[in-house]
A and B are shown apart, each in its own frame.
Chain A
Amino acid sequence: MRFADAWVSDAFWLAATVAAYVAARALYRRRPVWWLSPLLVAPTLLLGLALGARVGYGDYFHATHWLMLALGPATVAFALPIYEHRTVIRRNWPVLIIGVAAGSAIAMTSAWGLSSLFGLSESLRLSLLPRSMSMPFALIVAGDIGGVPDLTAVFVVVTAVVGVAMGEVLLKWLPLKSALARGSLFGMGAHGAGVAKATEIGGEEGSIAGLVMILSGVANVLAAPLVVFLLR
């Protein structure tokens, strides 16, 4: 299928993206299993469509990139959960700081260590570093430290899907006494999808997971210059 008019083609891909998202979300509502996560299904549908129509990533991205502008206001929106859970923060701040610091340090060093072990290229290693952060923060950090944000986006999604599946198994085996530990496991390990999973387990786990995800994202964006310095 070929469109003579670039504008029509842009509108088509934009509509297809929204449609794939809505369809993936509806499917997950009917069958909420981790491998039918909209994180996997929506990109897969679009991938099939784009490959079938022989459209390159450049053209697809050109048509839809402005959807990503909404990630800016979405980041601002994270102020609300922080504010609404201010008593949780006040009560548990030392533990939250330790969790965020330990989690972020392990996320970065494990990504760097493992990718070096496997002999991956520098641009892949840098793009893997922010994979445990929530998407808007990960994209900012990837750009700051010299990674490729588009590649980071892929790794962030894989981390979320893998993390939710793994977190469920870990929770059965680990002797975790506190909702604080169960929540931060998901918030740090599987960001947005992990927060959704933690919310299914319990309200307290869900708010802790959300807080850990947001606080670690903000902390990592602020610490990005330090990471750049350490990598030199």
Chain B
Amino acid sequence: MNRLHLFSVLRTAVQRSRAAQVALLAGLWLAGNFATRAIGLPFPGAIVGLGLMLLLLGSGFVRPASVRRGARFLIGEMLLFFVPAVLAVMDHAEWLGPLGLKLFATVLLGTLLVMLGTAFAVDLSYRWWVRHAVR
């Protein structure tokens, strides 16, 4: 069995196993954390890991099929991973009063502004782009 064959066997195994794909993504996250600490990069390890993954995909060294199932799992079930932080509300009984209304109003009005602003900025610039790029 030559090395090339071993590599393709490994690749097929990774493409079949979601757990192996999650392990691959976790490995890149750890590598990102390590790089951040060792070199003193100004970015968090997760972002460095994202960049590394993008490089691996872009260079063709890792095929999308080798991480697709793992990535869909991690992104799709993300609520499970952050629900422990959301339970912090239980320490904030004071939010049941006027303070909670103020917080809610901030989120509500802020989100309205974000949606309106983003949609109009994108729509206007898209129309401008279409008019000037494609004649």
Given A103-B117, A218-B47, check contact A98 B78 (CB 8 Å). no
Q: Is A231 an interface residue (CB 8 A)?
A: no
Do residues A79 and B50 form an inter-chain contact, with CB atoms below 8 A? yes
Given A57-B90, A77-B71, A98-B125, check contact A110 B25 (CB 8 Å). no
A-contact 0/1 string along B87-129, CB 8 Å cutoff: 1111110000001001111111111111111111111011101
Do residues B105 and A118 form an inter-chain contact, with CB atoms below 8 A? yes
Cross-interface CB contact of A95 among B42, B49, B116, B122, cutoff 8 Å: B122
Do residues A180 and B122 form an inter-chain contact, with CB atoms below 8 A? yes
A-contact 0/1 string along B58-101, CB 8 Å cutoff: 10000010011011001101111111111111111000000100
Q: Is B46 an interface residue (CB 8 A)?
A: yes
Cross-interface CB contact of B115 among A80, A98, A167, cutoff 8 Å: A167
| Residue of B whose beta carbon sits closest to that of A151 | B88
Q: How far is the CA of A50 from the CA of B83 in the complex (A)?
A: 13
Q: Is A102 an interface residue (CB 8 A)?
A: yes
Do residues A43 and B86 form an inter-chain contact, with CB atoms below 8 A? yes
Count residues of chain B with CB under 8 A from any CB of chain A. Answer: 71
Do residues A80 and B71 form an inter-chain contact, with CB atoms below 8 A? yes
Q: How far is the CA of A84 from the CA of B64 in the complex (A)?
A: 8
Taking chain A's interface residues, is the majority helix, strand, or loop, or is none over half, making it mixed?
Answer: helix
Residue among B64, B107, B127 with most chain A CB within 10 A: B107
Q: B25 CB to closest chain A CB, in angstroms?
A: 4
Do residues A47 and B115 form an inter-chain contact, with CB atoms below 8 A? no
CB-CB under 8 A from A188, the residues of chain B are 114-115, 118
Interface residues of A in 212-230 (CB under 8 A from B): 212, 218, 221-222, 225
Q: How far is the CA of A192 from the CA of B77 in the complex (A)?
A: 11
Interface residues of A in 57-100 (CB under 8 A from B): 57, 60-61, 64-65, 67-84, 92, 94-95, 98-99
Q: How far is the CA of A83 from the CA of B97 in the complex (A)?
A: 46
A: contact size bracket: 35 or more
Q: Is A135 an interface residue (CB 8 A)?
A: yes
| Residue of B whose beta carbon sits closest to that of A170 | B115
Q: How far is the CA of A59 from the CA of B78 in the complex (A)?
A: 22
Do residues A77 and B106 form an inter-chain contact, with CB atoms below 8 A? no
A and B contact pairs by CB, cutoff 8 A, 23 listed: A18-B80, A21-B80, A56-B91, A68-B81, A71-B78, A74-B25, A74-B74, A74-B75, A76-B25, A79-B53, A79-B57, A80-B57, A94-B129, A106-B118, A114-B110, A118-B102, A120-B106, A151-B88, A153-B82, A162-B111, A167-B115, A181-B123, A188-B115
Residues on B facing A (Cβ under 8 Å): 22, 25-26, 28-29, 32-33, 42-47, 49-54, 57-58, 64, 67-68, 70-71, 74-75, 77-92, 99, 102-123, 125-127, 129
Residues on A facing B (Cβ under 8 Å): 17-18, 20-21, 38-39, 42-43, 46-47, 50-51, 56-57, 60-61, 64-65, 67-84, 92, 94-95, 98-99, 102-103, 106-107, 110-111, 114-115, 118-120, 124, 128, 131-132, 135-136, 139-140, 149-151, 153-155, 157-159, 162-163, 166-167, 170, 174, 176-178, 180-182, 184-186, 188-190, 192, 212, 218, 221-222, 225
